[in-house]
Amino acid sequence: MTDPRTPSAPSQPAAPAQATGVSAGAEGNWFGYRPVDPDAKSGLVRAVFDSVAGRYDLMNDLMSGGIHRLWKDTLMEMVAPRADMTLLDVAGGTGDIAFRFLERGGGRAVVCDITESMVRVGRDRSYDRNLLTGVNWTVGDAERLPIASRSVDAYTIAFGLRNVTRIDAALSEARRVLKPGGKFFCLEFSHVVLPVLREIYDVYSFQVLPRLGRMVAGDEDSYRYLAESIRRFPEQQAMVKRIEAAGFGAVRVRNLTGGIAAIHSGWRI
């Protein structure tokens, strides 16, 4: 398997002006701060998540201080599950979003993830929760979903869009699988809007987080990539424009915890 390791990060956090976003469509050329062949990126991403699959929730706890659980609850409030709804959760690996959907009265959930080891973890967790029906698991790429067109009522992707090779292709696929009027939601680590918090979060992301990854999970390189991938992700308003360009209406962004994360939402036109 391709080695996911990246060059060592600088001792000081990268300046936001240098680290924020890439031009539309160019994200496939980067694996964190490392330039790569777009055809190689998905394999590198799979290697990262193969490495962290067994401790994925711990990873999110380290990256968010545990607040990701509240963010996911907020996301589910926006989804507003109903018994007649089918949810597709992309990059949904360990099942956090699907489980919340079903436990709040949702009808059926389909979890799709590019990494088979993440899907195995999620399926095992569903057995632990005695969720034996109502959720289906499949391995697939966000850019080429193994899902029928116009077949789902809601599409969610949490902490996954920044890892795809071609964001616009993934957005196009989201529109394809949604029924007309279906709801799109993306929860993602984003760009901090409070200057003081930005400085603190940069220090945490680039100096503290990789060391925690090494000490707690024995994997510094994957955690460094994840911090870098956040800085490469488009800023909030740029993401709004790309979602609109993909064929969604009423696109909105809701910043969480000062922009450490954000939820983008829209309706399939």
Per-residue pLDDT of the chain (269 residues; tens, 9 = 90+): 333 333 333 333 343 333 455 556 678 888 888 988 988 999 989 988 888 777 777 777 877 888 999 999 999 999 999 999 999 999 998 899 999 999 999 999 999 999 999 999 999 999 999 988 999 999 999 999 999 999 999 999 999 999 999 999 999 999 999 999 999 999 999 999 998 899 999 999 999 989 988 887 788 888 899 889 999 999 999 999 999 999 999 999 999 999 999 999 999 99
CA–CA separation, 238 and 11 (whole Å): 29
What's residue 93's pLDDT?
86
Is 221 annotated in some ligand binding site?
Answer: no
Is 57 annotated in some ligand binding site?
Answer: no
What's residue 5's pLDDT?
36
The b/e string for 182-205 (b: 16+ C-beta within 10 A; e otherwise) is bbbbbbbbbbbeeeeebeebbebb
What's residue 9's pLDDT?
37
Instruction: Record the pTM.
Output: 0.87
Is 174 annotated in some ligand binding site?
Answer: no
**Structural domains of the chain ordered from first start:** 19-268 (3.40.50.150)
Is 94 annotated in some ligand binding site?
Answer: yes
